[in-house]
Every structure is written in structure tokens, then in C-alpha cells.
Amino acid sequence: MTGNGSKGSALFSESADGRVTLQGVACEKCGHLAFPEQHYGCEKCGATGDDLVARPLAAKGTLLAFATVNLHRGKDIDAPFVVGSIKLDDGPTVRCTLVERNESELVHGGRVAGMIVMNAKLDPDNPRAELRFGREG
Amino acid sequence: MVNTLKDFRPVYVVGIGLHRYQKMSETTFVDLGLTAVRAALDDAGMPWAGVGSVYHGNAFLGMAPTRIMLRHLGGTGIPMTQVENASATGSSAVRQAAMDVAAGFSEVSLALGVDKPAAFNVASSKTGIKSLDAGRIVPFTHFALLADAYMQRSGASPEEIAAVAVKNARNGAKNPYAHRQKERTLEEVMEGPAISGSLTRLQCCPIGEGAAAVIIASEAAIKDMGLDASRAVRIAASVQKSERLYDTPGDYDAELTRETMAACLDDAKISIHDLDVLELHDAFTVEELLYIEAMGLAKPGQGAAAVAAGEFDIGGSCAVSASGGLLSMGHPIGPTGVGQVAEITRQLRGEAGARQQPDAKLGLAHMLGIGAVSLAHVLAK
């Protein structure tokens, strides 16, 4: 299963055995690793073209910070919900909606992993695959 | 060899004017802008015909708003340029006007900010690069996450962060141009409504309409037009930078601030501890703590304690956000950076009335804009 937008490669994918990976990008010229994948050019050294290669990143990491969002104008999710800042084991830091809706279930420095959630808020007939992070295990 | 402002002839703020920052209303941008410009001309004691160029900061008015507004002062044919740099729009207008006069392209330049913020339309949503946060991490949540991280590493409590809003509301209550002119207790700030993380409504800046104008002149212009040199305030340094990759992802606002401030203080040949007044980008309470620590005005993790000790009150070692800051004076986007320079000018002249920092001689205006960009200006009497 892949989570996708209208164009380009998916932000994340899930293997048959349930492992979720984020699609990052590595610069073969300077070694910079980033998320999400893009091929405009390396943010560190400016390399482009063949120097930028897609690099899957394990959707596992450490929860650095979290916050309950009480005000949200979008129709894609009901507030309150919780978002977090996650340091991936593979390097980059990402921010993402969390599965948990109550901060008491979360700890700073705790292990979290990416999970695919079907979100039907925007279109009940065509739920969208969405990545959220949640407590590992 | 790269030049900085100090390598050119000196430039001075000789006139300031504002239209109060306020909730969106039926007032046209033309009325807002003309009010501020006429007030600045009156303050300087000079005619519109003496202005040689205009840099107008706005992010929401649409294409080409400047001449159709300023023609009502009488068309003089001077160059007029729109400037947009997100929240730092007005600061960039000030920098452009200062460079214009410093380099001798004009003797007098007007830095103007006029805005009526409507629906935000930011370019980051049009890059074609998808995002994991799906539009759920807007600025107040970005700073709610930074507030959570700050509390983790410093041990500060939500109340200690909220105390910034209490201080800035106290200052804003003394500022007739402020959007919010009401003192607030810590209990009022904390009772909500909750917006995101520990941030409550009064810990988030109000975004409304307004206008601010600053007239910048050369020594020759001050002499030739017979302006009051005793009220002129020198712009001693101007620095602008943009974000690069940092080792601490997510904290780019503070890192960018650290680099911009260091360069600006170095250029002005002063220490952060020499400052009497500081206006900074306190769009959210935690930002004031992050930036005073990044600037070196407080030790890492000690910002909240320094606020609690009154170090940054009017009358303290350095008055931070004596205007009320973005939290109380408000953040109409285009005018904000210009209004900061107007406030510091007023303080250094000793004309700030009830919110006067005693014996103020050195001030600094700091702004950030999403993207991210950062500016700092040192003003000296």
C-alpha cells in the first residue's frame, strides 16, 4: 500500500509484511539525507540529477516533542488531535499526526513507529491512506 | 570585500508615523497608509516633496498598491517599490530604504508598511513537494512543539512561558497604537481558549490591519531641510540572512536569529548587553524566550527565569517588547517591522511616555519571516 498525492513518488509505503518506510532522498555527492524525497536539488550542496537518489527510511524513531492541536480549520481531521516531532533512527526529523489522542499516553523520548491509518473524513466513499506515528509495539 | 551599512554615509530615522494596529475593518488600505505617512512627515517636519524614494512592505494588498495610495499626497514621480518578505516584510522595507540613502541613490527614503491580512497564500504549498503533516502544523503548532521541547530541556513551566504575554500586555496597554491595549493577569492568559500545546489565545499574536511609516534621511538632507537633528536616530547596522541547514532541525528560527544577531551586533560593534531596548519577533510567547537565549541576552534555559526576575520589563536591564511586541502591539504583517523601528526611535528620543525605558540610547529590532528569513537593525542615539 502506498500513500500518495496526485503527482510524484509516494511519501511512504507499507510492505507486505507490514513494515512502513518513508521515502527520503540521499545526496551521493555530499551524503546529506533528507525527507521527503525531492529532485530539485540537495539543500546542503546543491547537487541535482543523478546525484540525488531515493532512499527508504524506516518509519521508526524517538518522540522528541508533542502538542495537542485544539484549533484546526481543515476538514481532514477533528480537533483535538496530537502531533509530534520524531527523530527517525535513520537520521532526519519529521513531524506528523500521532495515533494517540491523549498526551497522557505519550512520553518524551519514547519509541514510536509509523502506522497506516485510513482517513475517511474528506471522502467516506474513498478513504485516504494516511501515515501517523504511534507508540511502538 | 563585502560592504555593510557602516561602510557608507550615515543614515538617520527623522520621522515616524503609525495608524493603530486593529481588527480588520472597512478602513481602506489607502486611509491606513496615508494616515501613517502624513504622521511621519509631520513628525519629521518636512514636506512630501522632500521624499526621494519609497519602499512599501505589504503581503496581502495585491499587485501595485503603492502609487495609487501615495498619489493622494501629490505625484512627485519618485521611485516606488513593493517589498514582500513574509513577517519580516516591513523590516526589509526599512533595510532597502536605509541602503538607498546610505548609497546615495536618494537623500530621503520612506519605509512604509501597510497591510490588511486576508487569507494566507503561501508559496510553500505550491512547490510540488508533499508534506507529512498535511497542513496540520501551522505556525502556532510549530511553536507549540518548540515550546514543548523548550520545557523539556529548560524545566520551564507553561505558566513561566505564559508570563511573557503578561509582560507584553502590560506594555501594550500603554501604547495607543497597539492592537491589544489591555493588561492581563497570568490567570487570564492561562485560562484559554487553548490553541495548541501550551499556547493559549493570548499567547498568540493578533493579526489585523494597520500601517507604519519611517522616514530615513542623510545628514545632508537633515541640514538642507532644516530638520531637528536632536531627534534623529541613527541606523547603525542592518543585517539580513536566510535559513540554511542546521544541526538542530526544527529550531531553525533560533539558529537563524543567532547568526543574524551576531552579525548585526558585530557590525555595530556593540554587545547584546549594551542594548537598552529590544523589539523582537514574539508572535508566540515561547519565541521571546527562544530568541533572548539565542541572542545571548539570557543563558540557555534561563530565559523564563530572567523574565520572571523582571530583567526585560520597562525599567529592567533591557526593555524587551516595550511596544507590547507582536503579542500586544499586534502583527499586521507588512507594517510590523517598520513599527518596531518607529517604537525604538520613539524610545531613543525619550518620547515613549508611560512606556519609556529610562535613558535609552541603544536599541535593536529583530524579525523573522517564514521561509525562513531574518533581519536585525541596530539604532543608536
- Asked if residue A108 and residue A86 are part of one domain, the reply reads yes
Among the partner residues B128, B148, B152, nearest to A8 by beta-carbon distance: B128
pLDDT of residue B133: 85
* Cβ contact B11:B5 at 8 Å: yes
- In chain B, residues with a C-beta closer than 8 Å to the C-beta of A22 are 132
**CB within 8 Å: B193 and A74:** no
CA distance A55 to chain B (A): 16
Reported as a single tens digit per residue, the pLDDT across B305-358 is 999 999 999 999 999 999 999 999 999 999 999 999 999 999 999 999 999 999
ipTM score for this prediction: 0.94
In residues, how long is chain B? 381
- Asked if residue A65 and residue A34 are part of one domain, the reply reads no
- Asked if residue A87 and residue A30 are part of one domain, the reply reads no
Q: List Cβ neighbours of B159 (8 Å cut-off, separation of 6 or more).
A: B186, B190
Q: List Cβ neighbours of B336 (8 Å cut-off, separation of 6 or more).
A: B87, B89, B90, B91, B113, B212, B326, B330, B367
Q: Identify each DSSP E strand in A10-136 by its residue range.
A: 12-14, 20-27, 33-34, 52-58, 60-69, 81-88, 93-97, 111-119, 128-135
Among the partner residues B133, B147, B195, nearest to A83 by beta-carbon distance: B133
* Cβ contact B150:B177 at 8 Å: no
Dihedral pair phi/psi, residue B52, rounded to 5°:
-100, -15
Does A7 score more than 50 pLDDT? no
Dihedral pair phi/psi, residue A63, rounded to 5°:
-80, 110
Q: Does A98 touch chain B (CB under 8 A)?
A: no
Q: What is the mean pLDDT of chain A?
A: 91
> What's the average model confidence in pLDDT over B16-32?
98
- Asked if residue A68 and residue A47 are part of one domain, the reply reads no
Q: What is d(CA B200, CA A60) in angstroms, rounded to the nearest whole number?
A: 31
Does A3 score more than 60 pLDDT? no
Q: How many domains does chain A divide into?
A: 2
Reported as a single tens digit per residue, the pLDDT across B154-168 is 999 999 999 999 999
- Asked if residue A127 and residue A74 are part of one domain, the reply reads yes
pLDDT of residue B279: 98
- In chain B, residues with a C-beta closer than 8 Å to the C-beta of A74 are 134-136
Does A98 score more than 60 pLDDT? yes
Does B217 score more than 90 pLDDT? yes
pLDDT of residue B134: 78
CA distance B17 to chain A (A): 35
Does A9 score more than 70 pLDDT? no
Reported as a single tens digit per residue, the pLDDT across A22-76 is 999 999 999 999 999 999 999 999 999 999 999 999 999 999 999 999 999 999 9
- Asked if residue A53 and residue A63 are part of one domain, the reply reads no
pLDDT of residue B323: 98
pLDDT of residue A137: 74
pLDDT of residue A4: 31
- Asked if residue A51 and residue A90 are part of one domain, the reply reads no
| Residue of A42, A68, A115 to mutate when probing chain B, most B C-beta within 10 A | A68
**CB-facing half-sphere around the CA of B68: CA atoms within 13 A:** 8
Q: List Cβ neighbours of B281 (8 Å cut-off, separation of 6 or more).
A: B87, B257, B287, B291, B326, B366, B367, B368
Dihedral pair phi/psi, residue B333, rounded to 5°:
75, -85
pLDDT of residue A2: 42
- Asked if residue A45 and residue A105 are part of one domain, the reply reads no
Which residue of chain A is at minimal alpha-carbon distance from B131?
A36
The domain of A75 spans 59-135
pLDDT of residue A127: 86
- In chain A, residues with a C-beta closer than 8 Å to the C-beta of B131 are 11, 36
Q: What is the mean pLDDT of chain B?
A: 97
Question: Where is the domain boundary, A21, A42, A57?
Answer: A57
CA distance A19 to chain B (A): 17
Angle between helices B285-295 and B252-268 (to 10 degrees): 50
Q: What is d(CA B204, CA B234) in angstroms, rounded to the nearest whole number?
A: 32
- Secondary structure of residue A105 in the 3-state scheme: helix
C-alpha gyration radius of chain B? 19
- Asked if residue A82 and residue A44 are part of one domain, the reply reads no
> What's the average model confidence in pLDDT over B123-127?
88
pLDDT of residue A5: 33
Reported as a single tens digit per residue, the pLDDT across B64-86 is 999 999 999 999 999 999 999 99
- Asked if residue A77 and residue A108 are part of one domain, the reply reads yes
**CB within 8 Å: A97 and B133:** yes
Q: What is d(CA B258, CA B294) in angstroms, rounded to the nearest whole number?
A: 5
- Binning pLDDT at 50, 70 and 90, where does residue A122 land? confident
- Asked if residue A27 and residue A94 are part of one domain, the reply reads no
CA distance A38 to chain B (A): 7
Q: Which residues of B touch A (CB under 8 A)?
A: 127-137, 140-141, 144-149, 152, 193-198, 245, 249-250
Domains with residue ranges and CATH for chain B: 5-119+207-233 (3.40.47.10), 136-204+236-380 (3.40.47.10)
- Span of B116-125, B162-171, B188-197, B333-342 with lowest mean pLDDT: B116-125
> What's the average model confidence in pLDDT over A105-128?
92
Does B45 score more than 80 pLDDT? yes
Among the partner residues A5, A38, A72, nearest to B136 by beta-carbon distance: A72
Q: Does A66 touch chain B (CB under 8 A)?
A: yes
- Asked if residue A8 and residue A65 are part of one domain, the reply reads no
Among the partner residues A68, A83, A93, nearest to B249 by beta-carbon distance: A93
- Secondary structure of residue A58 in the 3-state scheme: strand
Query: Letter for the amino acid at B257?
Result: T
CA distance A65 to chain B (A): 5
**CB within 8 Å: B145 and A67:** yes
